[in-house]
Structures are given as C-alpha cells and as structure tokens.
Structure 1
Amino acid sequence: MSYVKPSDLVTSLVDAGEAKIFMSTRDTLLRAYMAGALLTLAAAFAVSMSVQTGSPLIGALLFPVGFIMLYLLGYDLLTGVFVLAPLAWLDRRPGVTGRGVLRNWGLVFLGNFGGALTVAVLMSIVFTYGFSTEPDAVGVALGHIGEGRTLGYAEHGAAGMLTLFVRGVLCNWMVSTGVVGAMVAKDVPGKAIAMWMPIMLFFAMGFEHSVVNMFLFPTGLMLGGQFTVMDYLVWNEIPTVLGNLVGGLTFTGLVLYATHGRTGPRRGTVAPAVPPTAADGPLDETREQLV
C-alpha cells in the first residue's frame, strides 16, 4: 500500500485548497452538487439499513461508501473545503485571498444543499409511493430524527445549543480527517480504508454534519416531522455549520499545517570541540573537560 508522508501530505492539501479557490463557478457548483447528492444518498441507505436490521452500527459501517465514492470522483463537501481553502490562504499562495476562500465556501454550500435537497425529494417519493401513502418505517424514522435534533436541543436551551455546536466540532474533526485520509494513500484500497475509519466513527457517534443534515431535515419535514424550517435553521444547520468549521480547521487543518507544513526549528547541536594543543595541558585532562 502506498503511503504519503505527512510533510508531502500538507503540500498536497495546500495545493488542493489553491485549486479549489481558483476553480470556475460552474465546476465548483457541479462538484458540490454531486457531493451533496452522493453523501446524502448514502445517509438514506444507512438509515434504511439501521431501521431494517434494528442495529445503528450497521448503518455506521455502511455510510462511508458515499463519502468514499464522492472523493474518489473529485467532488467537494463543505466540510472538506472548510479545511483545504484556508490553508492556501495561510500559505500565502499567489492570488489567494480571504474573499476567494469565502466565495468557495458559499458556492460549495449552495451546491451541497442543492444535491441534498434533490435526494430528499426523491427519497421522500420512494418512502411514500409518490406521496400517495403514509411514510414507511424508514420515513417515520427520518421524521423523528429531525424532531430530536431540533426540538430536542431546544428543550435544553443554551446547554442544548452548546451540545449541538460541540457535536458539529467533533463531527468535522473526524470528517476532515477522512478528507486528509483520501490523500494519505495513492491507491484506491488505501484511500478507502483511510477514509472509512473516521467517517464510520462520526456517524456511529451521532455527531452533526451540516451536509447530511441538509438531507435529513428537509426529508423529515416532507414526511410529517413535527418541527419547522426555522427550528431546523436555528437549532441545527447554522450552529452545525459553525461547529464544522471550527472542528475541521482547528483540529485537522491548522494542526497538520503547523507541525508538518511550518515545522519548528530543529534542536540545536553542540559545536564541535577544538582539538587540544600542548598549551592546553595534558590530552587526557582536556578530554575529560570536553566530556
């Protein structure tokens, strides 16, 4: 299995961030749209398997297939560009500006939301036979997820908001580690394994991912979940986006850049001793002083 050393990995991360900032609007939106669609289709798959088997762990084990597919195809998630784009700005790449970073984030957000919303509509049709019947068991479960992850936080007030934010931080710590994992290896099996582990962890732990939630909550609303769009925005999406930004950039991007991209000075070495002369005294005594 090929392996990319951390020092070379950071260079690849900065290069990727620079490329994304200068990517055309069309390509940025298309890649983000497909990333949102593939990831959320995998989320629907994972929830379906969890409901059908009665084991949430099964869903967590299977969910990473969507993440792996989208990164192998070169698509972009908001949680990934939260890490990559700022590194190019931090590295002072020519032409990279803060405005360019924000432009990239905004376009990827729109593309991800469009892809996630498309899958939400399509899967809602599947779960209700074209809205002609009540939601099936998976549809009911999705509605309850939306309620629990909005009204459930709201019941705890500020403590609930803090918990939501921290779950967003922890989520993108793991997801951005998966993004980095896609560059750790050069072969497909190595990339898949490196991405699988942190993505499985975040899903199994129930952390908050802004793009996955772009599917879960619109789907929940279409399937009769007892919460509102404002509940979704205030008590999930906005705090989750902020948490994802802080978690990915702080615990993955900046740490890797600081220790592998801008390493500290090496430990100093002792200056070589000057060979003793007759004027310095006996040779054995001089050696003892050097030791």
Structure 2
Amino acid sequence: MANLNPSDAARTVDAYSPAEVTEKVLGLAVSKTALSPGRQLPLTFLAGIYIGIGCIFSALFFGETALPYAVQRLAGGAVFSVGLLLVLVAGAELFTGNTMIAAGALEGRIGWSAALGNWVRVWLGNLLGALTLVALVYFSHVAETSNLARGLLATAAAKTSAGWGAIFVKGILCNLLVCLGVWMGYAARSVVDKAFAVLLPVAAFVALGFEHCVANMFFLPLGWLLVQAGVSVDGIAVETINLAGILKNLSAATLGNIVAGASLALVYRAAYGKKR
C-alpha cells in the first residue's frame, strides 16, 4: 500500500470545505434536475415517508406531559432528525433541501424552469409519501394511544391556528436550519459525521416550533383524520384542524421554505461560486 503523506491523510478525515460543499450543491442542481421521472418519483416518495417517520417519533415525546417543556421539545426535535438522516444516507429527494438548487440556476448551470419543475415534482412526490405513511399509521390505530394522540393533535392544532404570515416566517426560520443541516451533511465524510451534522439544526427547528412543509404533510392530515374519527384530548382545541387550516399552513410553509433554502444557497454561491 502506498504511504500517504500527512496532508493526504488529513484530507481523508477532514470535512469538505465550504467552497467544496458549494461546488457540490451547484453540481447537484444539475444531477437532480436531470433525474428521469422513473428515478425521481420513488426517491421523492421515500423522502415523504422518512420525514413522516421522524414526525411520529417526535410526537411520542410531545405528548409526554411528565417531561419539563424544554426537555420534551428538545427530545422530540432530536429524534425527529432521523428523518433527515435517512434522506441523506439512505438516499431520497426532499423538497426543502432541493430549494437550494436555485443557486445552480443563478450560476447558469440549469434553467429556472428546470428548478421550478423540480420543486413541483418533488413537493408532490413528498406529499404522496407522507400521505401513504399517514394511512398506514392511521389504520394501525397506534396514533390513538394517549401520548401519541396528545402529541399529534397539539402539534396539528398549533400549526393550523397560526396566521399565514407567522407560518411563512416560521417556514423561513425552519428551512434555514434544515438546509444548514443538509449543507453540513454534505461536508461530512461518514454516516456518523452526517448524524452529528444534522442533529442540532433539526432539533432546534422542531423544538422552536418552526414550519417544515413536508413534516406538515404528515402531521396535519393525520391530525385531521384523528379529529374526524372523534379522537380528542382534554385541553386541546381542534377546531382549526380542518382542510382550510391545512391549506393555509402548507401554502405559507412551502413559500417560506423556498425563500430560506434558495437564499442560503445564493449567499454561499456569491461567496464561493465561479460566476460572481
């Protein structure tokens, strides 16, 4: 085996630099928009399921009233990160991360129509995956257990009762953290590195109650189904968990997520991109 000099050995374990990650994101804009529908749809479907798994896991903690509030939120946020880790490691196409391909469009590597088309297709595929998991969880009746029902209904009620503008701003704050987690995940060289990279940004957005449109594709329809089935929890008003509330939330969260992801990538492109 050839001997590595110290600088080469360091490069095998050091994280990729911000400039290298920027180049990777710009390159991914090309590869992501070039995916055929036959390849893209399964990956978008899986991402919706993966994020939904994080949602149901986090709801278990959100419904635990014996925990102090901050501990409850931190624990729920930490376990939610399994969803983004699955996307990064197992492989999937997630709408919130794909908002960063806007930098590739500004760099001229793809057209804006390709970027917009990708967002629409990935958003719909994520929705299909999330709704599939909603159906599986609903018909398993696991969501009707006391802790999970409390966590799910409290989350859905909070998300549908907020105003459009507040949800939009929370969507910006959410995807700033999510895309930073993805960005650091791209810098990682191992699965363990990726897990640590996504943990705190994801835990922060969940604990603080920010708005992730794909997570809401799971939380809100499942909350609505539970309300329709007559599931209720003392102290939680569920009147806003209706179709109008769901559409309000998803529209505002989606636009906020786009603003954040695109803006973050554009700032890094301004700093490290080749065309400035």
> 2 CA distance for matches of 1:135 and 1:9?
43
Residue segments in structure 2 that go unaligned for 5+ positions in a row: 1-12, 228-237
Q: How does 1:164-183 map to 2 (within 5 A)?
A: 164-183=167-186
> 1 CA distance for matches of 2:138 and 2:117?
32
* Partner residue of 2:95 out of 74, 78, 94: 78
Q: How does 1:274-285 map to 2 (within 5 A)?
A: none
> 2 CA distance for matches of 1:92 and 1:247?
20
Q: Please state whether the residue corresponding to 2:91 is helix, strand or coil.
A: coil
* Partner residue of 1:17 out of 13, 23, 29: 29
TM value normalised by structure 1: 0.80
* Partner residue of 2:219 out of 213, 216, 219: 216
Counterpart of 2:134? 120
> 2 CA distance for matches of 1:65 and 1:123?
17
TM value normalised by structure 2: 0.84
> 1 CA distance for matches of 2:22 and 2:74?
33
- Name the CA shift for 1:128/1:202 in 2 (closer, same or farther; >3 Å): closer
CA contact (8 A) 2:50 2:84 kept: yes
1:204 Cα offset (Å): 1.0
CA contact (8 A) 2:63 2:152 kept: no
1:137 Cα offset (Å): 3.3
One-letter amino acid of the counterpart of residue 149, structure 2: G
Q: How does 1:251-290 map to 2 (within 5 A)?
A: 252-262=264-274
Runs of 4+ in 1 over 6 A off after TM superposition: none
One-letter amino acid of the counterpart of residue 186, structure 1: R
What count of residue pairs does the alignment treat as equivalent?
Answer: 248
* Partner residue of 1:145 out of 146, 155, 166: 155
CA contact (8 A) 1:124 1:139 kept: no
Residue segments in structure 1 that go unaligned for 5+ positions in a row: 154-159, 265-291
1:194 equivalent in alignment to 2:197: yes
Q: Please state whether the residue corresponding to 1:178 is helix, strand or coil.
A: helix
1:105 equivalent in alignment to 2:119: yes
Sequence identity, in percent? 29
Higher relative contact order (CA 8 A, sep 6+): 2
Counterpart of 1:268? none
Q: Alignment RMSD, CA only?
A: 1.8
